[in-house]
Structures are given as C-alpha cells and as structure tokens.
Chains A and B, each alone.
Chain A
C-alpha cells in the first residue's frame, strides 16, 4: 500500500504568503520527516517530528502531526522565491530505518 501521500500535488502562491502542504500515511510510524528537493537536485532534510510529538518549529517551518488521523502538515510562513521546490514527506516505520516517501508537492512562489 502507498504511504505518505501529499496534497496538493502542486501549489502556486505569491511571495510573502504562507504555504501549507499536507501528508497522509497508512501504517504506524516512529517519525515523519519533510524534505525539500530543488529541480533535478538532491534531497535536503528539513525537519523530523517524532510520533509522540504534535508540533515542531524550525525557523519559518512549522510541522504538525496527528497520529490519530495519520496526517501531517508543513507550513512555510512568509514564503520566498527561494522556497520554490518540491516538498516530500517521508515516514520512518517503527521496525526499521528505511524511509517511505510520498509523491511530493511542487511549490512555486511567484515574486
């Protein structure tokens, strides 16, 4: 079964606005992580939230986790053109260290 489905698939907003991306997953997890990928480039780790945490902040990023709904959201506040990228959620199961990935949200910030 697929794990880590993001929505929306694509999001286009004006610079300065907030961007919210959602992720849903199916199985139990140890943690959920968000990564950024600039076009054709590598994956950059943004933030990790553990299954016993509900919210986490890092700079302009805010991540929430609702394990009862098996969902997470990533909020980027005061977006900048440099935030244009694809954002992926990846879940870390309890039993092992591999990451299971969603399809990603393509975020475009218009100047």
Chain B
C-alpha cells in the first residue's frame, strides 16, 4: 500500500541553524500539508500546498518557514533559523483527488538545542 515517507526520522540541530525536513507524498496525490505537534500538545496546521504554491498557512508559518516541491516527488519544509520552541514532531500529509482523508507520514522529530 502506498504511504507517505519522511526523512530524517530525528534531527538534532543547534539554535539558529537551518533545517530541511523532507517528505515524499503518495505519488498521485495533489494536496500536501505540514503539521507540527509539540510534545504532549495538539497537532497544529502549518501550511497547505497545491499546484506548486501555498494555498493556506497558519500564524505559526512565519517568514522563518518555507516549503518547496523541488521535483515531482519531494515536498520539503525549511526552517531558516531554528528556535528552541521549534522543537516538535513535524508531520507531512497528502490527499488524493476528490478525497478528504489525509495520509500522514511517520513524522520527523526535530530537537533544537
């Protein structure tokens, strides 16, 4: 069964460093999402992406964040200058045409020290 994959599974970085989190959505899906979950808290929407552009973003998704679909398969989330409070699990998700169920990757645990 096709699935969303994410790499790395765990990333440790120092405050102020740039990180890129990678996702490979399910191949025929068209809508892509990033969410984050701070330990023990709710899942929070960050951004949605469709037709090679951001369709929506939350207040969390400030200028430090960017997304890109550099080729036909990868979908990346970049944090330019990480802060301690960026430590969280980051989940990528995708949706197929005409559907509403989101398929989630296993997540990347980002630890900012």
Q: B11-19, B78-86, B101-109: which one contacts chain A?
A: B101-109
* Residue numbers in A under 8 Å from B91 (CB-CB): 42-43
Residue of A with least CB distance to B33: A98
Q: CB of B44 within 8 A of chain A?
A: yes
Q: CB of A48 within 8 A of chain B?
A: yes
Specify which of A44, A48, A100 is in contact with B104 (CB 8 Å cutoff).
A44
Query: Which chain B residues numbered 57 to 75 have a C-beta less than 8 Å away from chain A?
Result: none
Taking a contact as CB atoms under 8 Å apart, the answer to whether B100 and A101 are in contact is no
Prevailing SS type, chain B contact patch: strand
Taking a contact as CB atoms under 8 Å apart, the answer to whether B45 and A99 are in contact is yes
Taking a contact as CB atoms under 8 Å apart, the answer to whether B56 and A102 are in contact is no
Prevailing SS type, chain A contact patch: strand
Taking a contact as CB atoms under 8 Å apart, the answer to whether B104 and A33 are in contact is no
Specify which of B31, B43, B56 is in contact with A43 (CB 8 Å cutoff).
B43
Residue among B48, B93, B100, B103 with max Cβ neighbours from chain A (10 Å): B100
**A6 CB, min distance to chain B CBs, angstroms:** 10
Q: CB of B28 within 8 A of chain A?
A: no
Specify which of B35, B44, B100, B105 is in contact with A97 (CB 8 Å cutoff).
B100
8 sample A-B contacts, Cβ–Cβ < 8 Å, listed by A number: A35-B104, A42-B91, A42-B105, A45-B101, A48-B100, A48-B101, A98-B56, A99-B35
Binding site for A on B (CB under 8 A): 31, 33, 35, 41-45, 48, 55-56, 89, 91, 93, 95, 100-107, 109
